[in-house]
Amino acid sequence: MSLSPLLALRNAVRERLGADAGLSARVSGVFDEPPSGAGHPYVVFGDGQMRDWSASLSRGVEILLPLHVWTTHRGMAEALHIAHRVAGLLDEATLAVEGCRLVNLRFVSLETRRDNIGRFARASLRFRAALEILE
């Protein structure tokens, strides 16, 4: 199984989030790994999972895709506002995913955490995508 559906989905998600002026005004970017000196807040891809989801007539994959919102703002309010915007942009979205047909993309869960003795707030969103692989 190729990793390209996972990469293609991440590219489509990055494009969707980057195209939203409201989100772009609040975050410094959407990153695989934030570059050195990236300003907070930002969104970063987490460690995803991809599983075979093939049927008898077509090939497909299921992808669990986490996104983390990081901020240095005290409390969780800023991280939660940004997470809400991200969830609204992606839940049930119809994205163009190269080489695939996106069957559905759904918000699954949200978890919050404070790191580094409360210096950083993180809101972690998890999405589930089902993709049919086009041949």
> What's the predicted TM-score (pTM) here?
0.92
Percentage above 70 pLDDT, the chain: 97
pLDDT digits (tens, 9 = 90+) for 116-129: 777 889 999 999 99
Residue 105: per-residue pLDDT: 98
Mean pLDDT of the chain: 93
Find, among 19, 107, 121, the residue nearest to 78 by Cα: 121
Greater confidence (76 vs 35) lies with 76
Q: At what angle do helices 4-18 and 77-90 cross, to 10 degrees?
A: 110
